[in-house]
Chains A and B, each alone.
Chain A
Amino acid sequence: MTTEKNPTPLTAKDLKTDQDVRWCPGCGDYSILKQVQSVMPDIGVEREDMVFISGIGCSSRFPYYMNTYGMHSIHGRATAVASGLKATRPELSVWIITGDGDSLSIGGNHLIHLLRRNFDVNILMFNNQIYGLTKGQYSPTSELGKRTKSTPLGSVDHPFNPLSLTMGADATFVARSLDRDPIHLREILKKANEHKGASMIEIYQNCNVFNDGAFELFSDKRTKLENTIMLEEGQPLIYGEQRDKGIVLDGYKPKMVSLDEVSADDLWIHDSSDRIKADMLVRFFDDPNIEGNFPRPFGIFYQEDRFTYDDALNEQLEAHIEESGSGDLDALLRGNNTWVID
């Protein structure tokens, strides 16, 4: 379907539409939009081959601001719409834009099934731990006890751990980044694009109107270094303002240690192909404010090569044509048993 290559290389500007971007001033979505627009020209995909599909929520207005093909669908169903598109048009570069409410609440079912099927798509899940568009109710990722309009006495819902859920659904690319770290986010977006299969990027996004500062601990210069670990392939898990702390694996139990006591060589070395370790890493999730425990990891937790649904479906179709020949309509209409009346 693709026509000849663009004569002039694409720039971030080409990906902007004539529509006014209408997120609240200061919204984290602006940064995510900007990083996506600056990465897309470099990923080797023609603009006409890019498709952005979203559900409902603040994040889901995203396709209107990308000068590519796009669909703003219905609540929670972007993953389902994208499945049909990708199954029929595997050559397209399909990006799913969704939020924590959209994908983990109403769309939870479709999310896990897309991941297990491993469609070759990229999911950008904007997590702000709140319902923004409906003006501030708690979301499936809001912390226990969250006071909102719908939970004035505090929420009694146990929150989802999105990446653990993602691992449980056998995703083949699992990553976390945040709106306030543009360089990191761009890097992860590129890696997700390179990954063949379903890429899930949880992006911590600040909703400065209804849930301001939810991730400040991980983005503020003063607290960031003590509370985050940046995952780097083949590198030891080191963190801390002085980079003086690390994680070791004591059997199946991760432990925080001081580098005064343990040498860097003995630390947990990040290996994104290790499923068991990834399962543990996504569990570094308790609230440091409350428990002061493990630092929150960012980066690519897990990555695996597995056949994609879109390839498998289309290969099966081609194999059937190879075996039985391209369907003859008259043969189908005739069926197996006919009789003649003179």
Chain B
Amino acid sequence: MSNTAQEVEKVTILFAGDSGDGIQLTGSQFSNTAALYGNDLSTFPDFPAEIRAPIGTVAGVSGFQINFGSTDIYTPGDESDVLVVMNAAALKKNLNRLKPRGSVILNVAGFDKRNLSLAGYEAEENPITDGTLDDYNLVQMDVTKLTRDCLKETSLGMKEKDRSKNMFVLGFVYWMYNRKLDVTIDFIQSKFGKRAPEIAEANIAVLKAGYAFGETSETFSNRFEVRPAKMAPGTYRNVMGNQATAIGVIAAGRKAGLEIFYGGYPITPASDILHELSKHKNYGVRTFQAEDEIAGICSAIGASFGGHLGVTASSGPGIALKTEALGLAVMLELPLLVINVQRGGPSTGLPTKTEQADLMQAVYGRNGEAPIPVLAARTPSDCFATVYEATRIAVEHMTPVFFLSDGYLANGAEPWMYPSADDLAEIHPKFAKPVEGKEYLPYERDEKLVREWAIPGIRDLEHRIGGLEKEDGTGNVSYDPDNHQHMTDTRQAKVDKIADYIPEQAIDNGLEKGKVLVLGWGSTFGAIKTAVLELVAEGYEVGHAHLRYLNPFPKNLAEVLGRYDHVLIPEMNNGQLVRIIRDKFLVDAKAFNKVKGIPFTAAEIKNKVAEIYTS
């Protein structure tokens, strides 16, 4: 039976279990393997904020969703085809995300009385036997027992044996989708091989046992084949958003001829940027784990004053702490890259869940008139291109710049046709040089209204800068009313002028004009794209424009908005971009908001567009 493989275009698998079950590892291993088979893919890790929530409870469920296929993939999938659950809580939490007649692969050991009760099932309730799963294709296996049996001969303790049960499931799913085990075996070898050979052997044995179980047991009749996607020819790698961000910063520094200083403080979901950067000291990257968020940004400002590229990253509440220093950076007119990996708010909010509710904070959230350019990435790999561009603007326009990512992009992964170093545009810092017989004026500007960057250590460029209002040109402290008006206007004009140095807004998908324009920004890209492409295929006159530049906007944006009867703005917030668009362009843009800590599905967007279409 296992020889007949049914060919499918794309599949969504949701792995779920207790947060100690190794679900994230299972999911990322499966992703890496799928990527190497040439599938397009998108992933969505979803885990609790607590390191270890009570075992077996719904609060402690960790999930990893992957959508992979032989066609283009833009989202991790609205609903899953296959739900793999290690315990009752994982089923309870995720059954509503399984397609009708989808498959449930279930570890029966996780459905004993205790697990059922911890998951919140009533005394006599058991989803395996009470009909809950009748309409699904149910595969039961005692993963715990099978894993223990497989490791009977080893000297490992029970706890250690049980720890490898995720490998059994992974092996089984590899069998289902006709994948080789090489990638994961290599991974296990490099992770444990030297340090703990016995653990490595155990994990590999269990992985193989899971595969063999698929082959020999007749519990599951279907085996699937997902062919490689018809992606653009080229060389690809897998990349996660935070990783792409860190690589982008290093690449931008290189192409600008600047060393990088990263000052930051650990915070979910931004920390991986610090982790990634700290591995690359040999690229001239200095990382500084500061005592707090404020020291993180202030140290980056100090580094920029010294002629390095100052970078800081955080998430919403940490960005709030950095706000005063952002105002200083605006006054100093030094390059500074500020990365906000947004998460659910306000306050500590939902640290591990995604949201895009810091747009107002980025665009307006400072005291005084303090304009800062804002850019947002749309997919995990796009974090690279967007942070690169954000850095270019910071350096070439002598300003702090916000780069917005979010939890969904940060931890999500996708294949990336990475560029070569030569493909990347050069970045040109404007360092000041002393001119014989001419006094250096720190706030003298060029045609872009940009001042020169004079760094300590160069004779005859000695100067003082600070947070007090500057006199035009000299930079001396000035309380003159007209000067303050002039400097306020100039700082705004400098940021507005950046619009002359960025591309015009393009229509990313669908029709160039028509009835509805879906205008998005950030990580809603995949869901909007999927929805719009499907709508267009169904005959709707719909277009999709996705903003990378949120301040200033591309120069042609008003014209783009005018080409459609309606503008719909879906956002994972309570309506932030929509307010700015209405304010700047006086158009009756419609808001579509979702603040649930989870991304939009393509279906939600489709329905909303269809609703507006007929209005």
Task: Please list the residues of chain A having a beta carbon within 8 angstroms of any beta carbon in chain B.
Answer: 1-3, 6, 17, 19, 46-49, 51, 53-54, 56, 63-64, 66-75, 77, 80-89, 91-92, 109-110, 113, 313-314, 316-317, 320-321, 323-327, 329-330, 332-335, 337-342
Contact = CB atoms under 8 A, between A and B. Distances in A.
Nearest to B455: A1
Contact of B458 (A3, A81, A324): A3
B365 to A, nearest CB: 16
B187 to A, nearest CB: 10
A91 B307 CA distance: 13
B259 A71 contact: no
B36 interface: yes
A298 B298 CA distance: 33
Nearest to A61: B477
A330 B423 CA distance: 10
A1 B36 CA distance: 47
Contacts, number: 219
B433 to A, nearest CB: 11
Max count, chain A CB within 10 A of own CB: residue among B301, B304, B462: B462
Smallest CB-CB A-B distances: 9 pairs: A72-B466, A84-B302, A84-B299, A1-B457, A327-B283, A80-B298, A85-B302, A80-B295, A81-B302
Given A337-B237, A341-B228, A88 B291 contact: no
Contacts of B303: 84-85, 87-88
A69 B467 contact: no
B418 A333 contact: yes
A327 B476 CA distance: 41
Nearest to A62: B464
Contact of B467 (A53, A74, A313, A324): A74
B28 to A, nearest CB: 12
B558 interface: no
Interface string B227-254: 0110111111111000000010011001
B112 interface: no
Contacts of B239: 335
A316 B287 CA distance: 11
B280 A73 contact: no
A66 B460 CA distance: 14
Nearest to A331: B421
B325 interface: yes
B464 A64 contact: yes
A54 B250 CA distance: 30
B38 interface: yes
Contacts of B458: 1, 3, 48
B289 to A, nearest CB: 11
A317 B418 contact: no
A341 B233 contact: yes
Contacts of A89: 306-308, 456-457
A332 to B, nearest CB: 6
Given A1-B455, A48-B461, A333-B251, A77 B307 contact: no
A113 B295 contact: yes
B237 A334 contact: yes
Interface in B268-315: 280-284, 286, 288, 290-292, 294-295, 298-308, 310
Nearest to A330: B421
B325 A85 contact: no
B95 interface: no
Contacts of A86: 302
Given A87-B303, A339-B35, A342-B233, A80 B290 contact: yes
Contacts of B461: 48
A77 B280 CA distance: 28
Interface residues of B, number: 72
A255 B82 CA distance: 80
B332 interface: yes
Given A68-B462, A335-B239, A337-B35, 9 more contacts: A48-B460, A70-B465, A77-B325, A81-B302, A88-B303, A89-B308, A326-B284, A329-B283, A334-B418
28 contacts: A1-B455, A2-B457, A3-B458, A68-B462, A69-B464, A70-B465, A70-B466, A72-B468, A77-B294, A80-B290, A80-B298, A81-B299, A81-B301, A88-B306, A113-B290, A316-B281, A317-B281, A321-B282, A325-B282, A327-B280, A330-B421, A332-B280, A333-B421, A338-B236, A340-B234, A341-B38, A341-B228, A341-B231
Contacts of A6: 459
B32 interface: yes
B457 A49 contact: yes
Nearest to A53: B302
A85 B283 contact: no
B233 A73 contact: no
A103 to B, nearest CB: 13
Contact of B235 (A19, A83, A314, A338): A338
A88 B298 contact: no
Contacts of B459: 2-3, 6, 46-48
A74 B302 CA distance: 12
B267 to A, nearest CB: 17
Contacts of A71: 302, 305, 332, 464-466
B371 interface: no
A81 B305 CA distance: 9
A2 B456 CA distance: 9
B307 A69 contact: no
B237 A327 contact: no
Nearest to B281: A320
A84 B250 contact: no
Nearest to B40: A341
A175 to B, nearest CB: 24
Interface in B84-98: none
Given A71-B332, A332-B280, A342-B233, A80 B247 contact: no
